[in-house]
């Protein structure tokens, strides 16, 4: 077999091999309507309104990261550019989006994998997305694309950046990369992320030369065997590291901190069921975030499990509503003061 079918089968084989290596037992969502995105939602940040879209495509080719079941929302099979373009139309013509289009300043684009991997997300669809964003989001200031580092090509980024300048307002490109943990052993030997800091530093240098931004996803307490204190210290080390990168390369960097939920169909779920793992506490998340005060890096706290946590596996516990509200306030304002107040204080 040759041609597109053979290429698609090769990608499918890579996905299944990664899933096996990562000890995952979930199924892919091959019954999803390919003309509809998986989901989209709105966030509020200190820069304004954010639209976060997860498009339905073929699953992440790496697909092995411990505790990650995001590929379960995707297809095992190839999804072509036509259905992806239909998904893009669905988002920009959705009444909830059109009602807020004038206030949205940032668009985060995900396929629960790598938007810059042309094998799983069509380049034609990506160009179409930029065109539609230019038309429908008049105040767009940042376009953020989720990707693994190995799919980044300078020529592609330069082209996308030029296209973004044709919108009604200047728009900067941001790459969103998952590190998940700062500790090398935890990140690559336990979590199986497959990302060296040297590769991130090379990317950061390139982004600085072109005036692009960087978002780094981290997970607090991403693996079993990590204490709550170890998890806080890992985030704090990541903050120091990213602040140094930002200052060295002149890159605007955001640390997107996701408290780890127990994802169904993963090895972490087994550890959770056996009592070997508990999700992080929100007070420890707030403590980790406070370390960024005065540092050359901003922080956004992810406070949703996207419906992917197993029963009882959320990081939000009863009685934490007030602290949750403070963290949401912090996301909107970068106001560290609210996080410094003792737990239980109004």
- How many structural domains does the chain have? 2
Q: Are residues 196 and 88 in the same domain?
A: no
**CB atoms closer than 10 angstroms to residue 250:** 13
Question: Which helix (H) or strand (E) is 254 found in, with range?
Answer: strand 253-259
pLDDT digits (tens, 9 = 90+) for 161-171: 999 999 999 99
Residues spanned by the domain of 72: 1-170
Q: Taking residues 83-98, what's their average pLDDT? A: 98
Q: Taking residues 86-113, what's their average pLDDT? A: 98
Q: Are residues 159 and 211 in the same domain?
A: no
Cα–Cα distance between 217 and 328 in angstroms, integer? 17
**Residue 143 placed within a domain:** yes
**Residue 178 placed within a domain:** no
From 105, 139, 170, the end of a domain falls on 170
Q: Are residues 83 and 161 in the same domain?
A: yes
Q: Are residues 235 and 144 in the same domain?
A: no
Q: What is the pLDDT of residue 4?
A: 67
Q: Are residues 188 and 328 in the same domain?
A: yes
Q: Are residues 121 and 200 in the same domain?
A: no
Question: In which band, very low, low, confident or very high, does the pLDDT at 306 lie, cut at 50, 70 and 90?
Answer: confident
pLDDT digits (tens, 9 = 90+) for 162-217: 999 999 999 999 999 999 999 999 999 999 999 999 999 999 999 999 999 999 99
From 170, 204, 232, the end of a domain falls on 170
Question: In which band, very low, low, confident or very high, does the pLDDT at 6 lie, cut at 50, 70 and 90?
Answer: confident
Q: Are 190 and 229 in contact (CB under 8 A)?
A: no
Q: Are residues 215 and 324 in the same domain?
A: yes
Question: Which helix (H) or strand (E) is 38 found in, with range?
Answer: none
Q: Are residues 340 and 283 in the same domain?
A: yes
**CB atoms closer than 10 angstroms to residue 116:** 23
**Residue 38 placed within a domain:** yes
Q: Are residues 36 and 163 in the same domain?
A: yes
Q: What is the pLDDT of residue 346?
A: 47
Q: Which of 57, 41, 38 is nearest to 49 (CA)?
A: 41
Question: In which band, very low, low, confident or very high, does the pLDDT at 9 lie, cut at 50, 70 and 90?
Answer: confident
Q: Are residues 190 and 276 in the same domain?
A: yes
From 170, 202, 222, the end of a domain falls on 170
**Residue 282 placed within a domain:** yes
User: For 162, which DSSP code?
Assistant: H
pLDDT digits (tens, 9 = 90+) for 209-259: 999 999 999 999 999 999 999 999 999 999 999 999 999 999 999 999 999
Q: Are residues 342 and 301 in the same domain?
A: yes
Q: Are residues 142 and 247 in the same domain?
A: no
Question: In which band, very low, low, confident or very high, does the pLDDT at 5 lie, cut at 50, 70 and 90?
Answer: confident
3-class DSSP state of 308? coil
2, pLDDT greater than 90: no
What average pLDDT is seen over the chain? 95
What is the layout of strands, in order, in the sheet containing 298-301? 39-45, 48-54, 104-110, 142-146, 172-180, 213-220, 253-259, 298-301
**Residue 175 placed within a domain:** no
How far, CA to CA in Å, does 195 sit from each of 71, 120, 148, 183, 205? 18, 19, 8, 11, 16
């Amino acid at each position: 077999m040759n041609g597109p079918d053979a290429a698609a089968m090769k990608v499918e084989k890579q996905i299944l091999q990664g899933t096996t290596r990562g000890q995952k037992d979930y199924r892919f969502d091959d019954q999803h309507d390919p003309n509809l995105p998986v989901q989209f939602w709105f966030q509020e940040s200190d820069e304004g309104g954010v639209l976060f879209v997860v498009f339905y495509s073929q699953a992440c080719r790496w697909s092995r990261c411990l505790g990650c079941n995001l590929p379960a929302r995707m297809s095992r099979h190839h999804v072509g550019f036509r259905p992806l373009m239909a998904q893009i139309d669905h988002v920009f013509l959705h009444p909830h989006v059109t009602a807020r289009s004038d206030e949205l300043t940032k668009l985060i684009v995900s396929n629960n994998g790598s938007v810059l991997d042309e094998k799983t997300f069509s380049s034609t669809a990506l160009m179409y997305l930029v065109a539609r964003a230019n038309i429908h989001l008049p105040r767009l200031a940042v376009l953020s694309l989720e990707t693994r580092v190995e799919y980044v090509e300078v020529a592609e980024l330069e082209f996308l950046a030029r296209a973004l300048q044709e919108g009604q307002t200047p728009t900067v490109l941001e790459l969103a990369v998952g590190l998940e943990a700062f500790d090398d052993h935890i990140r690559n030997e336990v979590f199986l992320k497959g990302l060296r800091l040297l590769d991130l530093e090379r990317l950061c240098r390139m982004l600085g030369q072109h005036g692009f931004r960087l978002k780094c996803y981290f997970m607090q307490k991403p693996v079993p065997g990590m204490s709550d204190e170890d998890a806080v210290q890992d985030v704090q080390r990541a903050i120091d590291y990213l602040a140094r990168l930002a200052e060295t390369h002149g890159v605007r960097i955001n640390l997107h901190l996701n408290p780890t939920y127990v994802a169904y169909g993963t090895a972490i779920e087994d550890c959770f069921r056996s009592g070997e793992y508990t999700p992080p506490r929100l007070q420890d998340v707030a403590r980790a975030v406070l370390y960024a005060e005065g540092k050359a890096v901003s922080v956004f706290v992810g406070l949703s499990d996207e419906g992917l946590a197993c029963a009882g596996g959320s990081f939000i516990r009863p009685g934490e509503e007030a602290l949750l509200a403070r963290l949401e306030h912090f996301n909107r304002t970068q106001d560290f003061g609210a996080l410094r107040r003792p737990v239980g204080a109004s």
